[in-house]
Amino acid sequence: MFGKFRQVVQTLTRAFAYVGMAFIVPMMLLTSTDAVARDVWSRPIRGSFEMSSFMLSVFVLLGLAYAQQMKDHVHVTILIDRLPRKWRDALRMFTTLLSMGIVAIMCWQGIVVAFESSAFSDMLRIPQLPFRLLVAVGGLFLFLEFLFDLVDQARSFLA
């Protein structure tokens, strides 16, 4: 049961990451075109900064869980690698639990802030609600990836 749940979540995590990745090229093209239009013709693209900010938030928030799944986040292990295996596993479990707590608060506050106001962007009048909800969605999947890591770490600790 847990294995099937993990497989579904990790498939969704990859799908979200691919959606986020799809925003990188348009963001790059928009930013480059805006820079050229601004410098060459003194005619910036209206709302390009807002659109780039929204696209960047989609990329980052939907990619966090995938980076955790691939173990691509930065780890500083200079001290922990010198400890005995049981201590190392216990410390990893502790830091994973701490990370889960921080991400849980981030999810909760993401939902609170998303529904607290009905803000729109200044220039293009795009509603911010979907982008604010991405904090909760990305955080939920990051939390689940931490949970999977915690289970793996607990198994290693008990082995």
pLDDT in tens, 95-110: 999 999 999 999 999 9
| Chain segment 10-27, per-residue pLDDT in tens | 999 999 999 999 999 999
pLDDT of residue 122: 85
- Residue 88 C-beta-side C-alpha neighbours within 13 Å: 11
Instruction: Let me know: does 10 contact 152? Beta carbons within 8 Å.
Output: no
Closest CA to 64 of 148, 144, 157, 125: 144
Inter-axis angle of helices 2-21 and 129-158, nearest 10: 140
In the chain, what are the domain boundaries? 2-158
Q: What is the mean pLDDT of the chain?
A: 93
pLDDT surpassing 90 at residue 159: no
pLDDT band, very low/low/confident/very high, at 92 (cuts 50, 70, 90) = very high
